[in-house]
Structure 1
Amino acid sequence: MNQIRFDGRVAVVTGAGNGLGRDYALELARRGAKVVVNDLGGSASGVGASKDAASRVVEEIRDLGGAAVANTDSVATRAGGAAIVQTALDTWGKIDILISNAGFLRNNRFDDLTDEQIDPIIDVHLKAAFYVGQPAYRAMRAAGYGRILFTGSASAMFGHAWQANYAAGKGAMLGLSNVVALEGSAYGIQSNVILPTASSRLEGEMNTGYLEIPEFAKSLQSADFSASEGRVTPAFNTPLALYLVSEACTATHGVYSANSGRYSRVRICASEGWFAPMGSTPPSVDDIAAHFDQICTLGEYSEPMTPYDEFTAAAKAARKQGVHS
């Protein structure tokens, strides 16, 4: 088996002062990458700033013989995002890899979320993906090569009570990455989303208030964690993250989950569904009700990579169901 290496590659990892980002940065450096370690140094709720977190990781990398520089600009502003990428360009002349990882939590019930709990979460997750991603993409496009990994969350893909703000920001990574992957395909740029699962300092921002939701509480209390002991650390997520940003990986336009040592692709697909009779008259609400079970049954499914792929799938379903020749 050939070892995955990053010799000659320059990587930017945001939120790399702790947890997942720190582990990504350390392993990238161990495997030959030059790394910009970005971290504002704020708390797990996004308060404050410090140079210590990024500097400590840079010291660790250098002590191991690797190459790294620290950056403490905020990902949540356009100027900050540009400065992060410029650090890579000024230091090493290029950027090959972006892992957009920075984030924090401010949990509350959906109906109680305030602007102070919504806006900063959207800024540091969704807007930051643009603010850092756009200058990184431009440099990658000019070079004809790039790997971008956006950080999503199972809280968005599957749902987590009391995290509507966080889930909205993380769920947006799916749409963003899909478009970046499509546009980037013309310029040697790949883009994917990772759904990591790891115990981290963000857990301190969570409380058990969400147990007021009976179905959610039932899911948690009946969950089988027997395969997870000792396996929800950042290190169990790093192999997947690094593979997705490596030259060896040719996959793009995907969402991938790491949970307890299980690595899987998470798919958005469309069921064959029910096709209304041909003609320009739309079906009625009653028609939808009468065929709703068929609409919901997965059966033969398609996985559209663009909206136009769905038109093709619809025509195929119409032919199969005998309403179109």
Structure 2
Amino acid sequence: MAIRFDGRVAIVTGAGGGLGRSHALEFARRGAKVVVNDLGGSVDGSGGSSDAANAVVEEIKAAGGEAIANGSSVTDRDGVARLVAEAMDAFGRIDILVNNAGILRDKSFAKMSMDDFQLVVDVHLMGAANCAHAVWPVMKQQKYGRIVMTASSSGLYGNFGQTNYGAAKLGQAGLMNTLKLEGAKDNIHTNAIVPIAATRMTEDLFPPQLLELFRPELVSPAVMLLAGEDAPNGEIICAGAGHFAKAQIVESEGAYLGAEATAETLAARWDDIVDMRGQQPFEMGAKQTEKFAMKAMAALKKG
């Protein structure tokens, strides 16, 4: 069955180019009214212009769709409030938020200024939180909402020179993990996309022959699914070059060492502790606490 967004309103941040532009155009093609948010700054977050957002709006309108542009920075809470107000004034509802806005300030940790660390975290993590918090009451009142975070392999696995970016991106996955729980009763589903795409932020990392293979349009199908009526809740989906996969944080079965545990007894059982056979995911942190409590109680009964 076709995934459509007729009657739905989608906000896409950082939608003036790259992945955000691709998502915005695809939402519009599938019937959504789109709010194209973009500060219009450079890759490092400096500067600003409304030209990029306006150009995407014109593309959407030229194809027969409906869209408005917004130039707020996601780090500015007053600006985010204006973003939500403009969306509501224009379209009367907000069904979808794609947190895509981002910048890069790459350097090894030893050479990185903490100002650059803070700014990247502010844009990626606090920006996502600012936008999600602003649309949350609207979605809660509607009893419907779909939020898509943009995480990264740098957050899941690490990348040299990207401590700030990786920390912020894994933070978005952590934000998603609780929003999926708190929003479920109001039919608000939150998921995360881990894109691999050649955009202005990453094009220098790709050999020329791979630029076409990793075009942003091959990530957008996953965003459409994660933002759709039948979207899952709490999934991390990796997408790039037409390949799609699920990422998940799991935990080993581990080993119970008891109340007399020491660093030495832990070292002696290290192989058992890090053995990933029998690994399991948890849908919430309380389930891990439950596992540890059950292990301890079972050991006490044996004793």
TM-score range (shorter-chain normalised) is over 0.9
Deviations 1:186-222 (Å, cap 9, x if unpaired)?
2110001110000111136x68xxxxxxxxxxxx9xx
CA contact (8 A) 2:5 2:31 kept: yes
Paired position in structure 2 for 1:256: 237
d(CA) in 2 for partners of 1:124 and 1:107?
14
Does 2:283 align with 1:284?
Answer: no
Does 2:228 align with 1:246?
Answer: yes
Paired position in structure 1 for 2:63: 64
CA contact (8 A) 2:198 2:211 kept: no
When structure 1 is superposed on structure 2, of 82-91 and 157-166 the one drifting more is 82-91
Does 2:276 align with 1:298?
Answer: yes
| Aligned residue runs from structure 1 range 54-133, under 5 A | 54-133=53-132
CA contact (8 A) 1:28 1:242 kept: yes
d(CA) in 1 for partners of 2:18 and 2:59?
14
Paired position in structure 2 for 1:148: 147
d(CA) in 1 for partners of 2:213 and 2:300?
51
Alpha-carbon offset, residue 166 of structure 1? 0.7
Say what the alpha-carbon RMSD is for the aligned residues. Answer: 2.0
d(CA) in 1 for partners of 2:251 and 2:296?
14
Q: Note closer, same or farther for the CA distance 1:22–1:324 as it changes in structure 2 (3 Å cut).
A: farther
d(CA) in 1 for partners of 2:265 and 2:120?
41
Alpha-carbon offset, residue 58 of structure 1? 0.2
When structure 1 is superposed on structure 2, of 185-194 and 11-20 the one drifting more is 185-194
Letter in 1 for 2:234: H
d(CA) in 1 for partners of 2:127 and 2:281?
28
d(CA) in 2 for partners of 1:177 and 1:115?
25
Deviations 1:19-66 (Å, cap 9, x if unpaired)?
000000000000000000000100111110111000000000000000
Partner of 2:233, secondary structure, is coil
Alpha-carbon offset, residue 276 of structure 1? 1.8
Alpha-carbon offset, residue 228 of structure 1? 6.1
Partner of 1:202, secondary structure, is coil
Letter in 2 for 1:8: G
Aligned residues: 301
When structure 1 is superposed on structure 2, of 228-237 and 181-190 the one drifting more is 228-237
Partner of 2:98, secondary structure, is strand
Partner of 1:20, secondary structure, is helix
Letter in 2 for 1:126: L
Partner of 2:124, secondary structure, is helix
Partner of 1:201, secondary structure, is coil
Deviations 1:73-107 (Å, cap 9, x if unpaired)?
11111111111111111111110000000001011
Q: Note closer, same or farther for the CA distance 1:229–1:130 as it changes in structure 2 (3 Å cut).
A: closer
Letter in 2 for 1:290: A
CA contact (8 A) 2:192 2:237 kept: yes
Within the candidate set 270, 284, 289, 2:251 is matched to 270
Within the candidate set 293, 299, 308, 2:286 is matched to 308
Does 2:169 align with 1:170?
Answer: yes
Partner of 1:24, secondary structure, is helix
d(CA) in 1 for partners of 2:187 and 2:244?
25
CA contact (8 A) 1:302 1:313 kept: no
Letter in 2 for 1:192: N
Partner of 2:12, secondary structure, is strand
d(CA) in 1 for partners of 2:246 and 2:264?
37
Paired position in structure 1 for 2:213: 231
Structure 2 residue runs without a partner (length 5+): none
d(CA) in 1 for partners of 2:121 and 2:294?
39
Deviations 1:280-318 (Å, cap 9, x if unpaired)?
x33011110000111000111221111221133335656
Alpha-carbon offset, residue 245 of structure 1? 0.3
CA contact (8 A) 1:17 1:57 kept: yes
CA contact (8 A) 1:80 1:131 kept: no
